[in-house]
Amino acid sequence: MMGMASILHRSRRLVYQVVATPRVKTVALRVHRDGTVEVRAPRSVKQAQVRRLVARRADWIVERQRYFLDLLRRNPGKELKNGESFPLFGRNHRLMIESRPGVETPFCRSEARRLRVFVDGQSKEVVWSAIRGWYSALTEKKVITALRTHAPALSVKPGRLRIVDQAQRWASCAKTGDIRCNWRLAMMPGPVLEYVVVHELCHLRTPNHSVNFWRLLKSVLPDYEKRREWLKRNGPGLALTMERRQTGVVASH
């Protein structure tokens, strides 16, 4: 059981993709930010069961597709033009691409609310790579500071830190203790970035989102709810804004 399928809902055809995998025990439905619908299900589940689930959740699917369409309209990806706004730790900086002959490796610098990118006539792909690398370095520095501050207080020892381009999350942690953080974290205010890191550290002690987990998180960050709300309200837009204007989009944690 795998492939594309569709149902007719209120004179509208809803197309969805079925992914059969032995790694899941229940049927899970997800609407991605590009509007596509994915159903992940055990191999034993019949097409009719999946179809009934999609039909039952059809109104919700349509609502989420409309939400994401509006989100994309309000947060178009970057064109890498001078004057574009780039968020840095919660404050917008204006992009300035400057030609500097002889520069072998493009580099970035923030000065007076400007994000200056120095290049030697390279393509926009090279400019974008330089910007991503710069954000990644800033994110790594801030995350390391937060780990060193809070890991001892929580009596946990995180493993390797990786700054990655995660499509679905701001951060995640593995059973080994390794922590993966989205390179875009440097966009958001410091306290929100700190919340994301502490959230993952708490998962090293409590892997689920039980009452004990939130109690532990609050013991470290008493105002975590305020930080979490900021992330829920602004995170999706930030993630989309920090994409090049292309077909691929990312989701929030």
Q: Crossing angle, helix 124-154 and helix 211-220, to 10 degrees?
A: 90
- What pLDDT, on the 0 to 100 scale, is given for residue 245? 56
- What pLDDT, on the 0 to 100 scale, is given for residue 251? 30
Interval 4-49: pLDDT, tens? 989 899 888 999 999 988 777 788 899 988 889 999 988 888 889 9
d(CA 12, CA 41): 24
- What pLDDT, on the 0 to 100 scale, is given for residue 244? 61
CA-to-CA dists, residue 230 to 32, 138, 195, 211, 233, angstroms: 21, 20, 10, 21, 5
- What pLDDT, on the 0 to 100 scale, is given for residue 94? 96
SS (H, E, C) the chain: CCEEEEEEECCEEEEEEEEECCCCCCCEEEECCCCCEEEEECCCCCHHHHHHHHHHCHHHHHHHHHHHHHHHHHCCCECCCCCCEEEECCEEEEEEEEECCCCCCCEEEEECCEEEEEECCCCHHHHHHHHHHHHHHHHHHHHHHHHHHHHHHHCCCCCCEEEECCCCCCEEECCCCCEEEEHHHHHCCHHHHHHHHHHHHHHCCCCCCCHHHHHHHHHHCCCHHHHHHHHHHHHHHHHHHCCECCCCCCCCC
- What pLDDT, on the 0 to 100 scale, is given for residue 79? 87
**pTM of the predicted model, to two decimals?**
0.79
- What pLDDT, on the 0 to 100 scale, is given for residue 246? 45
- What pLDDT, on the 0 to 100 scale, is given for residue 71? 82
pLDDT above 70 covers a percentage of the chain that reads: 94
Collect the ranges in the chain with pLDDT lower than 70: 1-2, 122, 167, 241, 244-253
